[in-house]
């Protein structure tokens, strides 16, 4: 008989109260206003008069325990032993007096971390697992992000954009990276290559058939074996069949490309949240530094920085100047592939006489 196994304690999500900076606990729900004294620093003032000065820093996100302990050491020495992580994996330290901010920034920068990422910066790129750990990735998110942040570091350190810029990456079309002002996502361009010897043993065929968004997959006998076949005229090369059926290999060294999307905005401020729109595709998936994708992102950022008004996010800027001028300014081709063919696509057509000249 197997030795007794330990029953799990199903404690779920831990109570954060025990890990929260004491000044934040004391003033919970009692904050009055905030200021942005410099990039990477926020000053929150409570009705009690208490203050929290937050210093935000970017890291490599995939942390080794040495780096994690270094971050802890800085927190122990200079920030009361408490930290907070943002949605975009930045670390934040909280102190209660302005005088403690400069030493904290110094220590973080000395250790190689990048202070910034607040307000009108290009925030840390949110990213997915990629070749390091995902089972279906078309690229390596960590490498793309590292390469891009090397180039965009000044826009992380300085808050000189019209509004905040959120960039996301995704290693497949499921789009775990989510919506961003700019999104760099894998876009497959060829149907899956099927290893018919393996399908029957590895894949639950009805659920693979059901997974296809365009009903392009059907059961078939191939070389006397039960398998699946793809109607390549219908196939949209999305890769949805690949996770439930690894013998339907979608990733291709040459034909899995990168595409760039813009204008995703999660906030309700000024307008309802928006989804990102395709602007560029066919970009080579080119490790280890993906220079072609970074070059396009930089062109978009430059045009946005020069052209947008204060508080306009990328989607609002384009809505004002119009898509023709956007394509002109970022020097990207407009093609038939920009015309949506999916459900609801008609709502994206211009049914008016509104034309900018």
Partner 1 sequence: MALDKHQTPMLDQLEDGPWPSFISGIKRLRDEHTDGRINALTNDLLGQLEHSYETRKGYWKGGTVSVYGYGGGIIPRFSEVGKAFPKSREFHTLRVQPPAGNHYSTAMLRQLADSWEKHGSGLVTFHGQTGNIMFIGADTESTQHFFDEINEYGWDLGGAGPCVRTAMSCVGAARCEMSCTNELKAHRALVNNFVDDVHRPALPYKFKFKVSGCANDCQNAIERSDFAVLGTWRDDMKVDQDEVKAYVKAKGRQYIIDNVITRCPTQALSLNDDDTLAVNNRDCVRCMHCLNVMPKALHPGDDKGVTILIGGKRTLKIGDLMGTVIVPFRKLDTQEDYDEMVEMAENIIDFWAENGLEHERCGEMIERIGLANFLDGIGIEPDPNMLSHPRQSSYVRMDGWDEAAEQWFERQAEKAAG
Contacting partner 1 within 147-186 (CB under 8 A): 147, 149-150, 153, 173-179
Q: Which stretch binds partner 1 (CB under 8 A): 129-137, 217-225, 295-303, 321-329?
A: 129-137
The minimum distance between CB 330 and partner 1, in angstroms, equals: 23
Q: Which is nearer to partner 1, 200 or 324 (CB)?
A: 200
Taking phi over 0 as left and psi of -120 to 50 as alpha, with beta for the rest, 235 belongs to beta
Residue 129 in the binding site for partner 1 (CB under 8 A): yes
- Give the residue from 145, 135, 167, 139 showing the smallest Cα distance to 59: 145
CB of 136 to partner 1, least distance (A): 7
**Partner residues linked to 168 by β-bridges:** 126, 183
If binding means CB under 8 A, how many residues of this protein chain bind partner 1?
Answer: 117
CA distance 19 to 27: 15
CA-based Rg of the chain, rounded to a whole angstrom?
24
d(CA 336, CA 284): 20
Tell me the pairing of strands 182-188 and 256-262: antiparallel
Interaction between residue 21 and partner 1 (CB under 8 A): yes
Site residues for partner 1, window 72-111 (CB under 8 A)?
A: 72-73, 75-76, 81-87, 89, 91, 94
Q: Considering beta carbons, is residue 21 or 300 the nearer one to partner 1?
A: 21
> Interface mask (CB under 8 A) for partner 1, residues 201-230, using x and -?
------x--xx-x-----------------
The CB-of-105 to partner 1 minimum distance in angstroms stands at 16
Beta carbon nearer to partner 1, 72 or 339: 72
Count of Cβ atoms closer than 10 Å to residue 33 Cβ: 9
Closer to partner 1 by CB, 123 or 303: give it. Answer: 123
Site string for partner 1, 303-322 (x = CB under 8 A): ------xxx-----------
- Evaluated on CA atoms 36, 78, 123, 90, the torsion sign reads negative
Single residue of 14, 97, 352, 356 touching partner 1 by CB under 8 A: 14
> Is the Cβ–Cβ distance between 184 and 168 less than 8 Å?
yes
Name the DSSP class of 233: T
Are 114 and 153 within 8 A, CB to CB?
yes
29 binds partner 1 (CB under 8 A): yes
Q: Verify binding: residue 143, partner 1, rule CB under 8 A.
A: yes
Q: Do the beta carbons of residue 184 and residue 154 sit within 8 Å?
A: no
The first and second tokens of residue 285, run together, are 């998936």
Is residue 10 at the binding interface for partner 1, with CB under 8 A as the rule? Answer: yes
Measure the CA–CA gap between 266 and 308, rounded to whole angstroms. Answer: 18
Among 39, 116, 117, 130, binds partner 1 (CB under 8 A): 130
Tokens coding 275:
């989804």
- Per-residue x/- mask for partner 1, residues 234 to 253, rule CB under 8 A? ----x-x--x--x----x-x
């Amino acid at each position: 008989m197997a030795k007794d196994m330990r029953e799990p304690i199903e404690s779920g999500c831990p109570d954060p109260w025990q890990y929260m900076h004491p000044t934040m606990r004391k003033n919970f729900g009692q904050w009055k206003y905030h200021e942005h004294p410099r990039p990477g620093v926020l000053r929150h003032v409570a009705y009690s008069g208490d203050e929290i000065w937050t210093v935000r820093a970017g890291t490599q996100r995939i942390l080794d325990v040495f780096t994690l302990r270094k971050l802890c050491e800085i927190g122990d020495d200079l920030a009361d032993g408490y930290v907070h992580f943002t949605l975009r994996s930045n670390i934040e330290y909280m102190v209660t007096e302005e005088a403690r901010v400069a030493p904290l920034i110094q220590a973080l920068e000395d250790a190689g971390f990048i202070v910034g990422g607040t307000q009108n910066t290009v925030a840390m790129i949110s990213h997915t697992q990629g070749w390091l750990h995902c089972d279906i990735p078309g690229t390596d998110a960590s490498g793309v992000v590292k390469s891009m942040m090397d180039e965009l570091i000044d826009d992380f350190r300085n808050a000189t954009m019209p509004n905040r810029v959120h960039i996301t990456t995704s290693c497949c079309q499921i789009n775990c990276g989510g919506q961003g002002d700019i999104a760099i996502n894998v876009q497959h361009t060829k149907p899956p290559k099927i290893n018919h010897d393996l399908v029957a043993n590895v894949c639950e065929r009805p659920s693979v058939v059901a997974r296809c968004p365009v009903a392009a997959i059907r059961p078939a006998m191939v070389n006397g074996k039960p398998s699946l076949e793809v109607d390549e005229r219908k196939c949209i090369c999305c890769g949805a069949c690949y996770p439930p059926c690894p013998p339907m290999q979608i990733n291709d060294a040459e034909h899995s490309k990168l595409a760039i999307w813009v204008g995703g905005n999660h906030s309700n401020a000024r307008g309802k949240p928006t989804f990102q729109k395709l602007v560029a595709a066919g970009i080579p998936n080119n490790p280890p530094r993906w220079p072609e994708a970074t070059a396009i992102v930089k062109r978009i950022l430059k045009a946005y920085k020069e052209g947008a008004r204060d508080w306009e996010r990328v989607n609002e800027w384009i809505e004002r100047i119009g898509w023709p001028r956007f394509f002109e300014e970022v020097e990207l081709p407009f093609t038939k592939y920009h015309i949506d063919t999916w459900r609801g696509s008609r709502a994206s057509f211009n049914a008016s006489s509104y034309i900018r000249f």
